[in-house]
Amino acid sequence: MKIIKLDTVESTNDYAKKIASESENFTTILAKKQSKGKGRLNRRWESPEGGLWVSIILKPNFFSSLLSLVSGLAVLKTLESYGICSRLKWPNDLLVSEKKICGILLEKSSDSIIIGIGLNVNISHMDTENWTSMFAETKKEFNLEEVLDVLIDHMKYYYSLYEKKEFSKIREEWKQNSCTLGKNVVIETSFETISGKAVDIDENGFLILDSGKKINAGDVVHLR
Ligand code: BT5
């Protein structure tokens, strides 16, 4: 498995997209800093030195939004192995006490899926609200390459479940660790704003509300 280590890059996801077609499965791009780190809908992702800014190029045999849940579970387990208890906010944020420690951005590029993971590791200051980091939670600093190794091991495990179509295992584990299910939520999709109680996720990873409505993408606000 190849790891490409960069100092500063605009965005590891954009770099990954450029090399995806000639790259092998699990090729990983790691950058010390991103000058134009991006979130969903081209929002800014703060990426100062000290964070784990990484993109993994996958070549799945088929595509399902469950890949997003697979990536979230891999980060959850990574944090757990460092003694940090996090929760999964649908579709793919990781929160510690409702503060964001990690965001994930999935993008398609020809035959590849790029999994962009931004994990706040040794970060003590940042120009955004409601964030936390591994350092802020533990007052300890971590070796970024070691954290990456742990993350890739977990990613390989959950990706193997995905490739074997063991969807119910992925879904059950995600549900057990979610902080979205059971909450009243407001969801902004590209077309509408929807309110309801989040009750389940389906076999594609879509969020199901108590009205029966299924949502495949959107920004969720937890009410209670
Ligand atoms: C995400 O977007 O959460 C996906 C973030 C993915 C970042 C990775 S880093 C490696 C790879 N290369 C990239 O260029 N991107 C990926 P979204 O759900 O849209 O959340 C964005 C929002 O999170 C922003 O509008 C801020 O409010 C907040 N935010 C920005 N930077 C943050 C940070 N470092 N930690 C916590 N929250 C942050």
Tell whether ligand 1 has an atom less than 6 A from the beta carbon of residue 92.
no
Same domain, residue pair 166 and 191: no
Atom of ligand 1 nearest to the CA of 51: 34
Same domain, residue pair 124 and 197: no
Distance CA 144, CA 130 (A): 23
pLDDT in tens, 49-78: 999 999 999 999 999 999 999 999 999 999
Tell me the CA–centroid distance for residue 211 and ligand 1, in Å.
30
pLDDT at 34 over 90: yes
Tell me the one-letter amino acid at 119.
Answer: L
Nearest CA to ligand 1 atom 16: 116
Atom of ligand 1 nearest to the CA of 54: 10
pLDDT at 224 over 90: no
The Cα-based distances of 178 to 12, 46, 49, 106, 203 in angstroms read: 27, 24, 29, 19, 15
Q: Mean of the per-residue pLDDT values for the chain?
A: 96
Q: Which two tokens stand for residue 143?
A: 């070796």
pLDDT tier at 190 (50, 70, 90 boundaries)? confident
What's the pLDDT at 222?
Answer: 92
What's the pLDDT at 175?
Answer: 97
What's the pLDDT at 11?
Answer: 98
Tell whether ligand 1 has an atom less than 6 A from the beta carbon of residue 72.
no
Residue 44's beta-bridge partner residues?
A: 38
Distance CA 142, CA 198 (A): 35
Counted domains in the chain: 2
Q: Which residues contact 28 (CB under 8 A, 6 or more apart)?
A: 1, 2, 3, 4, 54, 55, 56, 57, 148, 152
Same domain, residue pair 80 and 99: yes
What's the pLDDT at 73?
Answer: 98
Domain CATH code at residue 75: 3.30.930.10
Same domain, residue pair 88 and 72: yes
Same domain, residue pair 189 and 167: no
Q: Which residues contact 201 (CB under 8 A, 6 or more apart)?
A: 69, 90, 171, 174, 175, 178, 181, 207, 208
Same domain, residue pair 217 and 200: yes
Nearest 5°: phi and psi at 221? -110, 130
pLDDT in tens, 103-155: 999 999 989 999 999 999 999 999 889 999 999 999 999 999 999 999 999 99
Tell whether ligand 1 has an atom less than 6 A from the beta carbon of residue 31.
no
pLDDT above 90 covers a percentage of the chain that reads: 96
Atom of ligand 1 nearest to the CA of 123: 34
Tell me the CA–centroid distance for residue 3 and ligand 1, in Å.
22
pLDDT at 194 over 90: yes
Same domain, residue pair 166 and 127: yes
Domain CATH code at residue 193: 2.30.30
Q: Which two tokens stand for residue 67?
A: 């890949």
Same domain, residue pair 15 and 41: yes
